[in-house]
Structure 1
Amino acid sequence: MATRAANIADIDHALAVAAELSATFAEGAAARDGDRVLPHAQVRALKHSGLLTLSVPVAHGGLAAPASVLAEVFRLLAHGDPSLAQIPHSHYTFLEALRLQGTATQQAFFYEKVMQGALFANAQSERGPYPVDVDATTLVRDGEHYLLEGRKYYCTGALFADWVIVRASVPGRPGDTPTSSTPKALAFVPAGTAGLEVVDDWDGMGQRTTASGTVTLDGVRVPAERVVAFTPIFGAPSVYGARAQLLHAALDVGIATAALAEGVRQVGKARPHFEAGVDTAADDPTVVQLAGELTVTVRGAQALLAEAGRAVDAAATDLDSERAAAASVAVGVAKVAAARASLEASSALFELGGTRSASGAANLSRYWRDARTHTLHDATRWKLQHIGRYTLSGTKPPRHGQL
């Protein structure tokens, strides 16, 4: 990095910066989505803003911001542009993995990169034929280095990243077929490394500018000091997965709050229904009813997000299996509510705005497309299973990266 990221003085400053960026990101968001113009300038602004340093420990120059603060930052950014908000999600998640499993030397090295404005992005997801908990991508020891081989998909933000973080299986012997029990590690690979290719082939109907393309890894050499164990994170009580899911929920709540605000703007442009006998759409009792119902849904999701953030913070402060489970369940509840709110608000805005809101030029469908695309990331039906079992029998949810 040529210059260091801007300094974030405290939590209030962080939220103010996020709100300012949110407003900036909202400008042109519809056009970027419509034409799939990747937000290079906006990502540069994010890197420079200092927000990427929030979870860096105080000893290394950051604020060690709690999860609840990160969640509100994400909600604000998603309110402006959900695609842009999705890009740094893995950045914060991998910083948490580094905090939990990195050596002191690794932490010092990578925290300094982040303080200089570096963005981490993910290369985690794969396609069949294996179940989703199996990584066919392998990391095999080769002297002082590892060799990384494989292909990853949905690698959000990888085109913008300074470091691509690859999750891979570490087989006991070269040639072993990875299984769900094969240990996994994270390989920190700088952009431009030989054998690393990022392909801009993301064609999702929503979140069109996240650059969630394909990453191919062909004999990538990774120094041992840039490999961080991943599997041990889940060997003991942890809020690693809950933190990651909290930020996903925050993104959905941000879509919901933005869609509600857009719906209100559309009411101001709409004509009242003739049967209402009123002069403005805002006085139509059916519109009033819809706005009231929608406000309850969206504000409820916001409140549950805040509650889940507090639960994650409390568990992180005094961690044991009971608090970790309670935090995971709280996040699960927030995630379900956020998914419902984002889908409902992004659909109902058309009822609030009437026929003119369906104009292709306005591109208001992006709210629903973003919500529907992002809520597919992690099935809420499984959240409901874990919530129900916890409620009925006190069964703790499993430990993995989705909880």
Structure 2
Amino acid sequence: MTAPTSTAPTRPASRVIADDAEALAVATGLAAQFRDGAAERDASRHLPRAELDLLSASGLLAITVPAEHGGADVGAQTLAEVFRLLASADASLAQIPQSHFVYVNVLRRQGTPAQQGFFFAELLAGRRFGNAQSEAGTKHVQDIRTRLTRVSDDAFRIDGVKQYSTGALFADWIPVLARAEDDTLQVAYVAADAAGVSVVDDWAGMGQRTTASGTVRLDSVTVSADRIVPHHLTFTGPQLHGAVAQLLHAAIDVGIAAGALSEAVAFVRTKSRPWFESGFDTAAEDPLLIQRFRELSVRLRAAEALLSVAARAVDEAAADLTDDTAAEASVAVAAAKAFAGEAAVELGSALFEVSGTRAVLDSLNLNRHWRDARTHTLHDPARWKIQHIGRYVLNGTRPPRHGLL
């Protein structure tokens, strides 16, 4: 393996989190910090570089590093709760490290001992992974045309264009999904400042506006063979790659729903006027509003419960990984994700229903919750998750082995 050097920018030393309880405490504190300023960051599209540096320094980005490498090695339940907490404060900020943890998992499953030793040390030092996986203009999301071409015994060249590359603009390392000359799927971990890499901040979505999910161009980028991981092997047996990735997406949706409900509660308590027919002095006493908040609270609690069940299923499968346990985990996550997406969109919209006309002022930017939910829930279609759940329940058909379920 080549010498373990890093060209990452100098940042404050990263905390090393010891266990699940510490991870949750740190995430709770960061969420409180990130909540202040979230509306303004979205309104002005001010990218959260300082906040991401705080996230790196907090040690949260290394909490899935295995214990034998010095990490907290937290389970899926803790990881999902960390994402839920962060997303309840700032959904864009929570989205940025989602792929970071996905590609940590690739290393955990397919990395060599030398690769794991190097990259897990990078993570403990606060380094960040981005992603360069999705491509536009192809037949479908699995049609990967970025290519790895061997140029010597220990080096390859990467050429391709990636879009929706969340996290790449802020990354120290960019995991690139590419196909080798034999068409097998590989992940190349490319230094963000490598020659031939350009990251373009051209994301202009209506929601998740500060994720900087732009374009990555790879023009004859040289990468050593020891920075390449055989990702295709991930799907040759029972796996939780897709379940973990989708669990984090579900946690983001649940967080968005929680953030929207919290804003609605605060607005009705402090800013809303009662409807004149209610006969009450405050909007919070209006029985029709109370009824609607009951309904929204139940919706959120159901989403939280499904998320918890799904995370527990992933942890149980990780402890005893078989085709059956992996299938059960994937189905549980699919159910949580499908429900959470609907809940996030509903609560993001209902915020205005219960708050009234004053809530639509641009200066408040309360519509960011709905915009974030509507944008994020388009990541992959819930209708296919429901399809796989139905096949599993009715006919016992295990869901397919791919990274989107």
The two structures have a TM-score, normalised by structure 1, of 0.97
Q: Which residue of 1 aligns with 2:3?
A: none
Deviation at 1:284, TM superposition (A): 1.1
Native 8 Å contact 2:11 2:53 kept in 1: no
Native 8 Å contact 2:89 2:259 kept in 1: yes
Q: Which residue of 2 aligns with 1:158?
A: 168
Counterpart Cα distance in 1 of 2:402 and 2:142: 9
Native 8 Å contact 1:188 1:226 kept in 2: yes
Q: 2:392 aligns with which of 377, 386, 390?
A: 390
Q: Which residue of 2 aligns with 1:108?
A: 117
- Provide the secondary structure at the position in 2 that maps to 1:63: coil
**Post-superposition CA distance 1:117-171 (Å, at most 9, x none):** 1000100000123222111110111102010000000000111100011000112
Native 8 Å contact 1:3 1:116 kept in 2: no
**Post-superposition CA distance 1:371-396 (Å, at most 9, x none):** 00000001101100001111111111
What amino acid does structure 1 have at the position aligned with 2:292?
A: L
Q: Which residue of 2 aligns with 1:55?
A: 64
- Provide the secondary structure at the position in 2 that maps to 1:148: strand
Q: 2:327 aligns with which of 325, 328, 333?
A: 325
Native 8 Å contact 1:155 1:215 kept in 2: yes
What amino acid does structure 1 have at the position aligned with 2:65?
A: V
**Post-superposition CA distance 1:261-281 (Å, at most 9, x none):** 011011111011111111111
Percent identity of the aligned residues?
A: 55
The two structures have a TM-score, normalised by structure 2, of 0.96
What amino acid does structure 2 have at the position aligned with 1:142?
A: V
- 1:286-365 superposed matches below 5 A: 286-365=288-367
**Post-superposition CA distance 1:170-192 (Å, at most 9, x none):** 123xxxxxxxxx31100101111
Native 8 Å contact 1:87 1:157 kept in 2: yes
Counterpart Cα distance in 2 of 1:379 and 1:137: 24
Q: 1:127 aligns with which of 127, 132, 136?
A: 136
Unaligned 5+ segments in structure 2 are 1-9
Counterpart Cα distance in 2 of 1:249 and 1:266: 26
Gap change, CA 1:2 and 1:258, over 3 Å in 2: closer
**Post-superposition CA distance 1:36-82 (Å, at most 9, x none):** 00011000000000001100001111011111110000000001101
- Provide the secondary structure at the position in 2 that maps to 1:141: strand
What amino acid does structure 2 have at the position aligned with 1:243?
A: V
Q: Which residue of 2 aligns with 1:211?
A: 212
- Provide the secondary structure at the position in 2 that maps to 1:297: helix
- Provide the secondary structure at the position in 1 that maps to 2:106: helix
Native 8 Å contact 1:272 1:279 kept in 2: yes
- 1:33-48 superposed matches below 5 A: 33-48=42-57
What amino acid does structure 1 have at the position aligned with 2:281?
A: D
- Provide the secondary structure at the position in 2 that maps to 1:155: coil
**Post-superposition CA distance 1:165-224 (Å, at most 9, x none):** 10001123xxxxxxxxx3110010111100000000000000000010100000000000
Say how many residue pairs are matched: 394
Deviation at 1:3, TM superposition (A): 5.0
Counterpart Cα distance in 2 of 1:98 and 1:293: 42
RMSD over aligned Cα, in angstroms? Answer: 0.9
Deviation at 1:285, TM superposition (A): 1.4
Native 8 Å contact 2:19 2:73 kept in 1: no
- 1:69-108 superposed matches below 5 A: 69-108=78-117
Native 8 Å contact 2:272 2:283 kept in 1: yes
- Provide the secondary structure at the position in 2 that maps to 1:56: coil
What amino acid does structure 2 have at the position aligned with 1:200?
A: D
Counterpart Cα distance in 2 of 1:279 and 1:395: 57
Counterpart Cα distance in 1 of 2:254 and 2:208: 15
- Provide the secondary structure at the position in 1 that maps to 2:140: coil
Gap change, CA 1:3 and 1:26, over 3 Å in 2: closer
Q: Which residue of 2 aligns with 1:248?
A: 249
Q: 2:274 aligns with which of 272, 277, 280?
A: 272
Native 8 Å contact 1:266 1:349 kept in 2: no
Unaligned 5+ segments in structure 1 are 173-181
What amino acid does structure 2 have at the position aligned with 1:247?
A: L
Q: Which 4+ runs in 1 deviate beyond 6 A?
A: none
- Provide the secondary structure at the position in 2 that maps to 1:94: helix
Counterpart Cα distance in 2 of 1:45 and 1:227: 29
1:225 has 2:226 as partner = yes
Q: Which residue of 2 aligns with 1:148?
A: 158
Q: Which residue of 2 aligns with 1:235?
A: 236
Q: 1:22 aligns with which of 11, 15, 31?
A: 31
What amino acid does structure 2 have at the position aligned with 1:395?
A: T
Deviation at 1:337, TM superposition (A): 1.2
Native 8 Å contact 1:120 1:164 kept in 2: yes
Counterpart Cα distance in 1 of 2:380 and 2:80: 17
Q: Which residue of 2 aligns with 1:176?
A: none
